[in-house]
Amino acid sequence: MELHFQLILAFLLFSECFIETKKIRGVSMSYRRLYRERKSFLCMDGSRLIPFSQVNDDYCDCADGSDEPGTAACHNGRFYCMNLGFRPHYIPSSRVNDGICDCCDGSDEFASRIQCSNKCRMLGQRERQELEERMKAVNEGLHLKKQLIEEGTLIWQEKQTQLSQLQKVSEDLRIKVEDYRKRKLRAEAEKEHLEEAIKPDHNSVGDQSQWLGVVPHDSRSRVDKDKSRVIHGKEQEEKTEIQKGQNDPVRTPPHENPDKLPPVIRAAQGAVDSAVTELQKVEEAYDTVQMEIRELKEKLAIDYGPEREFVFLLGRCVQMAVSEYTYMLCPFSQVTQKNNVGSEVMLGKWGGWHGPPDSPYRQMRYDDGEACWQGPNRSTVVSLVCGTETDLKSVKEPSKCLYTMELQTPAACSLNTQRRSVHNEL
């Protein structure tokens, strides 16, 4: 009799347990208290109060599907996989008992034709191992980042020194340019003066258009009308030639025909020419230095991160081959795409940081690339991820002429990366 009683008690306890399990299947611990009420159940959206027996009875009573967490009855229901040893998560309750194991603990297939083995432990172990490796990589990345910051500081100082040197050179060249301009003006004035001095005497009769011939540089003051008549021999012939030329209606002006100029004018012209050449040279040098200063200032004005951890990327390029193209990213400069016959297309010029407001350095933007046929101008967004190497990880063209790249670099590692990794896991 006593045994009989004990059997009945055991059966009742088992049934109770079974009912409890059935009722609360597919519900997370935090929501379980809402399903403890035995008499009635209030739909989670508060829309209906139903008898508790209608919970998980395979009929959808609540509009939000909350009465059927453990069956596929509601189209919008969700089933909670506890996945002990791995990560708990929700699946749409339509997947319950559909013959596919969705929860790693197999709990979604409790009345299914298939048997799901519990893979949670194995998945958890694998994930923990991956996490450990990732954490190791982040730590190594953080260590490398320190070196990159030091490298960047040196590069930055070098650039600053370069700038002040260039500014000094530029100032010297500016003085030189002024000096050479004066030299040129002097040479021109001297030549003009000489030309004036030996110009044919238009007032004198007979000798009207004669050049006055060889006049020593320092004796030009002595040149006068009288001397213009004292011309002999070869010189006389020369002047006659010039005379002829001057009377010719389409004659070449004397300064464009240097061979026919009097030697003194020729010498003066030579002085002007060399002053012009010298001036051009220093002006060119000055312009080049100005351009270099402008470029350097532009580079120094770029934001290289809070610790200038990205300075080291200046002047470096990384590339990756994807199908028939080779993509090249030159940070803070441009992105290009070369096809297999060697023609190159520009996919964007440095356009600034593009990450979300709380972490702007997570993305770079390169805009205004070459025009795309029936599409926008090409542009590229580069996402920076923490890694122990500085290299491209992926290149994609998710929509026509809009490219995305993943650049891994220790410079992108931060304690936040570390926290994010942990947070995303278990």
Give, in order, the Cα–Cα distances in Å from 266 to each of 182, 183, 214, 366: 20, 17, 10, 58
- Strand pairing class (363-367; 334-339): unpaired
Residue 99 CB, shortest distance to ligand MAN, in Å, is 42
* 3-class DSSP state of 406: strand
* 3-class DSSP state of 352: strand
| CA count, 13 A, side-chain hemisphere, 414 | 12
CA distance 306 to 312: 14
Residue 322 binds ligand MAN, judged by CB under 6 A: no
Give, in order, the Cα–Cα distances in Å from 263 to each of 194, 211, 259: 11, 11, 9
Distance of CA 119 to the CA centre of its chain: 43
Q: Which amino acid is present at 307? A: E
CA distance 100 to 94: 11
Query: Which of 223, 221, 222, 219 minimizes the C-alpha distance to 211?
Result: 223
Residue 397 binds ligand MAN, judged by CB under 6 A: yes
What backbone torsions phi and psi does residue 408 show, to the nearest 5 degrees?
-95, 140
Residue 168 CB, shortest distance to ligand MAN, in Å, is 45
Residue 368 binds ligand MAN, judged by CB under 6 A: no
Residue 325 CB, shortest distance to ligand MAN, in Å, is 7
Nearer to ligand MAN, 35 or 366 (CB): 366
Site stretch for ligand MAN (CB under 6 A), options 5-13, 105-113, 214-222, 397-405? 397-405
Residue 409 binds ligand MAN, judged by CB under 6 A: no
Nearer to ligand MAN, 263 or 376 (CB): 376
Angle between helices 120-198 and 263-300 (to 10 degrees): 160
Site stretch for ligand MAN (CB under 6 A), options 97-105, 115-123, 229-237, 393-401? 393-401
Among 73, 401, 402, 411, binds ligand MAN (CB under 6 A): 401
Nearer to ligand MAN, 211 or 366 (CB): 366
Residue 380 binds ligand MAN, judged by CB under 6 A: no
Residue 102 CB, shortest distance to ligand MAN, in Å, is 38
40 membership: H or E segment, kind and range? strand 40-42
Residue 365 CB, shortest distance to ligand MAN, in Å, is 18
Residues 6 or more apart in contact with residue 29 via CB below 8 angstroms? none
* 3-class DSSP state of 422: helix
Q: How many helices (H) and strands (E) does the chain have?
A: 6, 12
Residue 5 binds ligand MAN, judged by CB under 6 A: no
Residue 366 CB, shortest distance to ligand MAN, in Å, is 14
Nearer to ligand MAN, 83 or 380 (CB): 380
Residue 329 CB, shortest distance to ligand MAN, in Å, is 15
Nearer to ligand MAN, 71 or 336 (CB): 336
Among 222, 244, 400, 419, binds ligand MAN (CB under 6 A): 400
Residue 68 CB, shortest distance to ligand MAN, in Å, is 48
Q: With CB under 6 A, what is the number of residues at the site for ligand MAN?
A: 7
Residues 6 or more apart in contact with residue 192 via CB below 8 angstroms? none
Among 372, 388, 406, 421, binds ligand MAN (CB under 6 A): 372
Residue 381 binds ligand MAN, judged by CB under 6 A: no
Given a contact cutoff of 8 angstroms between Cβ atoms, the answer to whether 353 and 365 are in contact is yes
Residue 378 CB, shortest distance to ligand MAN, in Å, is 7
Site stretch for ligand MAN (CB under 6 A), options 80-88, 114-122, 134-142, 394-402? 394-402
Residue 160 has a CB neighbour count (10 Å cut-off) of: 12
Please list every residue from 323 through 362 that binds ligand MAN, using CB under 6 A.
337, 345
Binding mask 241-280 for ligand MAN (x = CB under 6 A): ----------------------------------------
Sign of CA pseudo-dihedral 374, 375, 378, 384? negative
Residue 405 binds ligand MAN, judged by CB under 6 A: no
DSSP state of 369: -
Task: Summarize as ranges the residues that interact with ligand MAN (CB under 6 A).
Answer: 337, 345, 372-373, 397, 400-401
